[in-house]
Amino acid sequence: MKLSLVRKIKPLIFLILVFPSFYWFILFISGGMGINPIDSLIRELGNFALRIIILTLLISPLSIFKPLKNIVVLRRMIGLFAFYYMTLHLSSYVVLDHYFNWDFLFKDIYKRPFISLGFFSFILTLPLAFTSNNIMLKKLRYKTWKNIHRLIYIIAPIASLHYYLLTKADKTEPLIYLIIIFILLIFRVIIYFSKKESSPK
């Protein structure tokens, strides 16, 4: 896939990724999200955020294949969409579910491990979001910037564990996400050490 083609389809991918958020909020406002619309909205936003995190992790393995090597230019935008949906997920929990009841929220973070994990994974995304622009890349230099963005390898398993723990009934879907993330992280470790071995001494 040519770089020019990847750049041409970038706006389309942007629209595909932003569309669900508008769709769910329209459903929410119109009363189309079932008997517990707030929980449904929070769940949809969180699940989609996790799927985009997985998509972000998939970019590097896919770019190894020569026809797909240029898709790496999409990674930053996709990563920012993961942050976007995580922010909406957290905001819905804070604003719609608990109406800025900070005393309750801090107690909830402290008492319930899955809430703690979700909050912690969001905090870890902040450095990535704030440095996902060319100005910060130049200021930090590539090596420092890259080290900051390796936080995704911590965020992904924590976010998936958050989903696994909050799911009370059928845990099949969160377990699948955990397995996929585990495989992708193992792949990254293999690639890292293979590059180290092949690099000149």
What mean pLDDT is predicted for residues 123-146?
90
pLDDT confidence of 196, banded at 50, 70, 90? low
DSSP 119-146: HHHHHHHHHHHHT-SHHHHHHH-HHHHH
Give the lowest-confidence range in 41-45, 47-51, 91-95, 107-111: 107-111
pTM of the model as a whole: 0.92
Confidence check: pLDDT of 6 > 90? no
Number of other residues whose CB lies within 10 A of the CB of residue 196: 8
Residue 12 is predicted with a pLDDT of: 95
What mean pLDDT is predicted for residues 3-17?
90
DSSP 10-48: HHHHHHHHHHHHHHHHHHHHHT-S-S-HHHHHHHHHHHH
What mean pLDDT is predicted for residues 104-119?
91
Number of folded domains that form the chain:
1
Could you tell me the two tokens for 91? 């905001």
Distance separating alpha carbons of residues 107 and 116, to the nearest angstrom: 10
Confidence check: pLDDT of 173 > 70? yes
Span 11-69, pLDDT tens digits: 999 999 999 999 999 999 999 998 999 999 999 999 999 999 999 999 988 888 888 88
For the chain, the average pLDDT equals: 90
Residue 198 is predicted with a pLDDT of: 61
Residue 200 is predicted with a pLDDT of: 56
Distance separating alpha carbons of residues 71 and 1, to the nearest angstrom: 8
Q: Residue 30: which domain range?
A: 3-198
Residue 197 is predicted with a pLDDT of: 62
Residues 6 or more apart whose CB falls under 8 angstroms from that of 41 comprise: 24, 25, 28, 33, 92, 96
> Residue 35: phi, psi to the nearest 5?
-75, -20
